[in-house]
Chain A
């Protein structure tokens, strides 16, 4: 599995770019030479509400950028605008610095992988993959050669004469991928391409797509609502909600330093402690509703008196036996314990506050029993002050 994408890259790209090490991080600099720029782009269908609201985003050449958001957040609309199937109501779309306003979809040279694959059911696998080459007026012999290569690389040699309906879902997905890459597009747009596959196949394809990207150096704009998929694949993630980009950053940045409650709760699991900011001189002190005052990183420049959420990841929590001289520890009760093999999860009821989840390694020194009183703390610097928006 690991060999195959690099082979695909080497074949597809022979003579075009020096093959890169599949394991290396692709070099890119979004700010220096963006291949795609969204400039104050708005989109409305009914003239009342904006599906996309004054959105700005740069995609670096060779970058793997994921648009992550719940359904209805506008991520597919964004993709369709870039592909040329929708027009922005306001704002500009630039490709290599040139406006795409008057470039119809068929001249944008972008490969698209759709969730439903959109393979042409009346054409054989060969004709599907050769389709973009045929449309570009390529000679028959050259098309045949490239299609043969592509088939070998997606490990479907001998399947060329089959119809898409005679392939499994994973095989169809590979054909769709080959078809979107075979004409060496500047950028590949993927609209939840793995949404229709089962979990195991999805993980296999994730690895394959990651390798393909690294090896081909092709720019990828990937749309998904699956946060783990976004974390696995992306160089950068843009989190969308209601047509607005809330945060753009590397997976680490998005996961570890979210700057809004929405992002914090959409990516991974998060514990939210509602509270009020008491002081913000050097260190930010928040009085939680459960009565304890804690220190947290102020991610939203909250002023004293503001209602906020203090957000802590379950794996940053520390549970211990309560002691008489505990300060800054939150008294709580263990409600349930779930054994997950590689870790333990505790459901904790904080006195006078909502339930939270805690996560410890199986090797944690203290195993707590259900019903036990515990003291809850977290690693220094791991709590973030975020907006008080109701956690999802």
Chain B
């Protein structure tokens, strides 16, 4: 082969680039359906959830004239007559169009009681005579209170930190400072601390039960291994609801466990085992155990039994050999398994809802409550966002913890 001329080389390079580009286009074409699916099913819903938790557009839709009038209001004194007039027009129109109830509910979140004030005023809005400020004051003196107008200005949006702050039991004062809410209204932060606490307990219980189990499964005879792994995996074949119902049967007041305890004379009276924290832990551990055992088992299978022999020939007692040789090698599996269990626990809903008492509900139940029972999508989204952030933080913490030691979960 003779040496190629510079022109030929350039041609060759261009040809290679074209081929490379064709390959990239084809590869992109192949993953496009997946990308589209991910976008529609995963990215968009999450993005809209995040948006819902900070958006506040009800005012603009329901009371457009008032929102515009309040845009340049400083909030130091009562707004001028124009604003009152704008509100009167908005309320009259909203009452006729039956959109006023929504904004009344929204404003009630800012200051409790505003709902009835807005509804009551809206009913009379059409008949109110100018000057409007006096007319409003006649309907209710709260229209002469600057706090009422500040609430409307806060709600005017389009963005609000209210929901995110509220799930953390915080609120923003008019001057912009963030303070804790009054102790009697601080009800949401417990959901967060409880969620973390229960997830930690469930993870620790899973580790305590799952580590020896995985160890046995990884190093026993094939028949025993099939038996152990089978019983760990069996719950996967049964729906969560059925499993949970089965636990209710087993753990209830006159269930098998209680009958056995009474018969053995360990307790005099049947004890509370379900519909409280104990029951939630039992069922959650049962359901989540495979997520710990399986990654751990697969890592343990790769640890040669010879290493323990080598350690022992070098003078290590069985315990010392386990701690210095076996445990460190099993940590990647333990880390991955514990992370799975913890993160799944954070978002757990079914089990606490079915077998827990009111004091055992977690963050996810807050989402359900706001979304399905109260109909406050802002708060529901804020709780969901909090859950999402908790999960991300936990994931990053776990992977940092285990990656820093040279393990990749």
Contacts and interface: CB of A to CB of B under 8 A. Distances in A.
B208 interface: no
Nearest to A191: B306
B406 interface: yes
B311 A83 contact: no
Interface string A87-131: 000000000000000001111111110101010111000000001
A132 B315 contact: yes
A117 to B, nearest CB: 9
Interface size class on chain B is 20 to 34
B315 A121 contact: no
B394 interface: no
A341 B128 CA distance: 122
A118 B316 contact: no
Given A122-B329, A135-B316, A105 B304 contact: no
A179 interface: yes
Given A120-B325, A122-B328, A112 B313 contact: yes
Given A109-B315, A179-B314, A135 B309 contact: no
Contact of A105 (B313, B325, B406): B313
A120 B311 CA distance: 9
Q: What is the interface of chain B mostly: helix, strand, loop, or mixed? A: helix
Contact of B320 (A84, A108, A109, A135): A135
A220 B314 CA distance: 16
Which of B314, B317, B325, B406 has its CB near the most chain A CB atoms (within 10 A)?
Answer: B314
A136 B315 contact: yes
A131 B311 contact: yes
B229 to A, nearest CB: 25
B26 interface: no
A121 B317 contact: no
Contacts of A135: 311, 314-317, 320
B310 interface: yes
B57 interface: no
Contact of B313 (A83, A121, A122): A83
Interface string A126-163: 00000110011000000000000000000000000000
Given A105-B312, A106-B312, A131-B311, A118 B317 contact: no
A114 B306 contact: yes
Contacts of A120: 307, 310-311, 325, 329
Given A122-B328, A122-B406, A83 B314 contact: no
B314 A116 contact: no
Nearest to B406: A122
Nearest to B327: A122
Which of B307, B312, B325 has its CB near the most chain A CB atoms (within 10 A)?
Answer: B312
A85 B316 CA distance: 13
A126 to B, nearest CB: 14
A132 B317 CA distance: 11
B320 A112 contact: no
A84 B314 CA distance: 12
Contacts of B321: 106
A114 B406 CA distance: 26
A106 B317 contact: yes
Contacts of B310: 112, 114, 118, 120
A234 B324 CA distance: 35
Nearest to B310: A118
A105 B312 CA distance: 6
Contacts of A85: 309, 312
Contacts of A107: 315
A193 to B, nearest CB: 13
A110 B315 CA distance: 9
A183 interface: yes
Given A114-B310, A118-B306, A118-B309, A183 B325 contact: no
9 contacts: A84-B313, A104-B312, A106-B313, A106-B317, A107-B315, A118-B306, A120-B311, A132-B314, A135-B311
Given A104-B312, A120-B325, 11 more contacts: A84-B312, A105-B313, A106-B317, A111-B314, A114-B309, A118-B307, A120-B311, A121-B329, A122-B328, A131-B314, A135-B315
